[in-house]
Amino acid sequence: MKLSELFKKGKFVITSEIGPPKGWQVDKCIHEAETYLKGKVDAINVTDNQSSVMRFGSLATCILLKQKNMEPIFQVTCRDRNRIALQSDILSAYAFGIENLLLLTGDHPVLGDHKDAKPVFDLDSVSLIYAVKKLESGEDLAGNKLEGEPPKFCIGAVVSPCAEPLDPQLFKMEKKIKAGAEFFQTQLVFEPEKFVKFMDIVKKNFGKVYVLLGITILKSVGMAKYMNENVAGVFVPDYLIEELKKDKEKTKSGQTGIEIAAKLIKEMKPYCDGVHIMPLGWDDKVPHLLELAEL
């Protein structure tokens, strides 16, 4: 089912994500999704060689999830493929019943594990959204007609609501909306006041836009500090770091991180249309988080 159908019904949409393994044996990844996420979230986002690290393919993983009656979100980045391959993969996804897309420009290969890889970036996220809308109209990006019935997707994009300065994010968001984006998944948010301000601006300038709040479970003080130093648009405030320091065993077990995430969701739920959980390997913690957040 397209996420757009759920948004239009007024449902508070819940999504999570999985990262395919660095190898072909994907059974464990699919089993964990089936055990901890199936029936608890509306859709599962599959990362596409996240952080420019080579992994098992996003499309193949989405197909395997679909075969297990789970709803995948096919994440597609522009880093590794030109416009021909991008359109081809997106059409291939639709043939397997994959209707939800998350379209990103992608990280540069120098940040990953194949630093000598040649980046493609033939398109960026905005032009890829436009390309998908062209496919939906029955033509490819070059204006050639598609054979048969055109595909119909729910198109998602990303935004960083706590970035400083914020104006470049709003400028890019507007371009994505005009190109055809239907929903936005945010970067991780730990500063509710900034998120609320961002949503007020979005509402005033862009009208009704569906936004999924990005949330993760903080695993340690080190993780929080690493994100503050290395992840653009993300800042974990000192008071949350102090919470992580209070009880090392509780933090190590994930309970502190779950409690922090649940509080953040409750505080920001009135201002968004859903939540996207990035468990970063802690898929088994997602059910407890949803329960504590009263979702």
Question: In the chain, what are the domain boundaries?
Answer: 3-292
The predicted model scores a pTM of: 0.95
Count of C-beta atoms within a 10 Å radius of residue 157: 25
Which residue from 250, 191, 190 is spatially nearest to 219, judged by alpha carbons? 250
Burial of 129 (0-12, 13-18, 19+ CB in 10 A): buried
Which tokens belong to 78? 């522009």
> For the packed helices 27-36 and 58-67, what is the interaxial angle rounded to 10 degrees?
50
- State the pLDDT at residue 158: 98
Which residue from 230, 291, 241, 247 is spatially nearest to 266, judged by alpha carbons? 291
Burial string for 239-274 (b: 16+ CB within 10 Å, else e) reads: ebbebbeeeeeebeebbbbbbbbbebbeebbebbbb
- State the pLDDT at residue 171: 97
Which residue from 262, 218, 268 is spatially nearest to 243, judged by alpha carbons? 218
- Please name the CATH architecture into which domain 3-292 falls: Alpha-Beta Barrel (3.20)
- State the pLDDT at residue 1: 85
Residues of the chain with pLDDT under 50: none
86 touches 131 (CB < 8 A): yes
The gap from C-alpha 119 to its chain's centroid, in whole angstroms, comes to 22
The DSSP 8-state label assigned to residue 214 in this structure reads: E
Which tokens belong to 83? 């416009």
- 38/140 Cα distance (integer angstroms): 34
Q: Phi/psi class of residue 272: alpha, beta or left (left: φ > 0; alpha: ψ in -120 to 50)?
A: beta
Query: Is 181 strand, coil or helix?
Result: coil
Q: What is the pLDDT of residues 139-185, one digit of tens each?
A: 999 999 999 999 999 999 999 999 999 999 999 999 999 999 999 99
- 72/31 Cα distance (integer angstroms): 14
Rg (CA), the chain: 19
Count of C-beta atoms within a 10 Å radius of residue 235: 18
- 99/90 Cα distance (integer angstroms): 9
Count of C-beta atoms within a 10 Å radius of residue 16: 24
Q: What is the pLDDT of residues 214-233, one digit of tens each?
A: 999 999 999 999 999 999 89
The DSSP 8-state label assigned to residue 35 in this structure reads: H
Handedness of CA 186, 173, 132, 123 (dihedral sign): negative
